Structure 1
Amino acid sequence: MKTVAIVTDSTAYLPNEMLSEYDISMIPLNVVFGNESFLEEKEIGVDDFFEKLRSENEFPKTSQPSIGSFIETYERLSKTHEEIITITLSSGISGTFQSAYSAGGMVEGADVHVFDSEISCMVQGFYVLEAARMAQEGYSSDRILERLNEMKSEGMHAYFLVNDLSNLHRGGRLNAAQLVVGNLLQIKPVLTFVDKQIVPYEKIRTRKKALNKILSLFDESAKDGAPIKATVIYANNKEEALKLKSELEEKYSNVEIILSYFGPVIATHLGEGSLGLGWYRT
């Protein structure tokens, strides 16, 4: 019997080949258009999501996985594993962590540990990949969780540039007055995670200045030559993301970069054209 199984939710946005290579189980969150609910990454991909977003009059909603979906996965994995580690997006922006935790107490046959990444997207994916690699190498759950907490304490960074304020407004994160003023002043908020919540890091006029601010923050971590794993994340603006990835790789020989994307759940709140940069020092 294998020792440790790794589970995550869909907002890590790990490609299928990585899920297969590292034997990671993925549980999807939901995107709801009117009366229709779709499992992200399984029933609706990011391209279909943006296409549907343009044709729908009603703004979509998102919801966490059911406790039952976690129980089903845990019961399946308990037949071949002694322990299960589940890594979720931040508990400050979703009830997914609580669902995973509650389900863990309802399953016999395997000990379930739930780790709150306190972040999301491919930066959450970095935790998942590290845990899966260690699981494949035979490390115990205690050592894997210790390593994940080391990564967290050493600093996992994620900054997002929002192109269109309307999604933040419709999702309840900006009031109408803030929306009007922000659009008039061409405000491009730089967002980050603080205490498990997505918060404005700085409100900057023009997209170029906002991106330069993120790049200056990245440079503070990368300029001393220490090895860094990073991700450039995009929302239906892949060419811009590829250009940024190429520029960073040319400037920093110590940085390994994965290109990723904002899937349907996160893109619902950030909107099309958003751009993210996340990293940690290895």
Structure 2
Amino acid sequence: MVQIITDSTCDLPHKRLEEIGVICVPLTVHFGEETFIDGENLTAEEFYQHLRTNPEIPTTAQPTPHSFEKAFQGALDKGDDILCILIGSKLSGTVQSANIAKATIGSDRIWIVDTNQVCSSLGLLVEIAAKWAKEGATAEELFEEISELSCRARIYAAIETLKYIRKGGRLSGAAAVVGTMLNLHPILTVENGLVINSAKAKGKKKMITMMKELAMTHGVDENYPIMFCHGAAEENLTVLKDCFAEDYDISNSLDGFIGPVVGTYSGPGTVAIGFIIKK
């Protein structure tokens, strides 16, 4: 069998990870002197409560090589091969930690995919890999297929409030004030492994419709599901799904919750989509 391993930036709920048989190696979040393990002693809901009330700017950290070594060895001891699907290496040192663990163990039964993705696009790849693994694909086959699919995966995330991007130093205070006054919402994507601002929408209604317009410019491959994620933004998520349902069959869509690591930078109110681009 093939054991799929990922990290907590895939933003798939723990219950869902258990259902599809995926092991998650968590990142950590720091509020001042307090350290939390993503999804273990800090749920996404608890995180957003902390974020709204704690004056400290949270920081995040990659898993240690030991964390991956423990996960890898447990799967190998069961006789499984391993496909490890991780956040892009330009966004986090998580891939580096996994490669160190692989080298320490010295096994050729561990395959590591640097997806250049995060959040909904990463979660979508994990879901696809888990399905194919259950259908009998080998680790090598999965590595090749998911590596290719990673190049066609796309994420768009709409930011409701500029407050947390400003607090994290990714936007000047003046720009945040102006953006808030103008009711502007940046729509972010990942290109060449880096998060970039692809558009700005004025007002929440336009924010939602623009996400669909951006997806449609690429062409959504409906052979794969669309993954929808939100960060404490159920109302925005409902509107987003309704908008996509006008043009796409979303009956097989997947759901995720933007967790503490991604939420540190995006803040509450964020909605995201992940999809595969047509060839």
Matches within 5 A, 1:1-282: 2=1, 4-108=2-106, 111-153=109-151, 155-220=152-217, 226-249=222-245, 251-253=247-249, 256-280=252-276
SS at match of 1:167: helix
Report the RMSD for the aligned CA atoms in angstroms: 2.2
**How big is each residue's C-alpha offset from its partner over 1:2-30, in whole Å with a ceiling of 9 and x where there is no partner?**
3x221000111223333223321111111
- Distance in 2, matches of 1:200 and 1:220, equals 16
Unaligned runs of 5+ in 1: none
Q: CA deviation at 1:145?
A: 1.1
CA apart distance, 1:137? 2.8
Q: 1:131 and 1:168, CA in 2 relative to 1: closer, same or farther beyond 3 A? A: same
Q: What TM-score does the superposition give when structure 2 sets the normalisation length?
A: 0.91
Give the Cα–Cα distance (whole angstroms) in 2 for the partners of residues 82 and 233 of structure 1: 30
Q: Deviations over 1:215-259 (max 9, x none)?
A: 112334568x94341122111111221233244335423763222
- Please say if residues 229 and 281 of structure 1, whose CA atoms lie closer than 8 Å, have aligned partners that are also in contact: no
Aligned identity (percent) is 28
Distance 1:175 1:254, change over 3 A: closer
Distance change (3 Å), C-alpha of 1:137 and 1:228: closer
Aligned equivalents of 1:248, 1:228: Cα separation in 2: 15
SS in structure 2 of the partner of residue 127 of structure 1 = helix
Q: Deviations over 1:172-220 (max 9, x none)?
A: 2112332233223322111100111111002333232232211112334
Determine helix, strand or coil for the equivalent of 1:94. coil
Maintained 8 Å contact 2:154/2:277? no
| Counterpart-to-counterpart distance in 2, 1:226 and 1:122 | 16
Aligned pair in 2 of structure 1 residues 37, 237: CA closer, same or farther (>3 Å)? same
What is the count of residue pairs matched by the alignment?
Answer: 278
Q: 1:140 to 1:57 in 2, by over 3 A?
A: same
Separation of aligned partners in 2, 1:58 and 1:68 = 28
Gaps (5+ residues) in structure 2?
Answer: none
CA distance in 1, matches of 2:53, 2:30: 14
Q: CA deviation at 1:127?
A: 1.4
Separation of aligned partners in 1, 2:80 and 2:270: 41
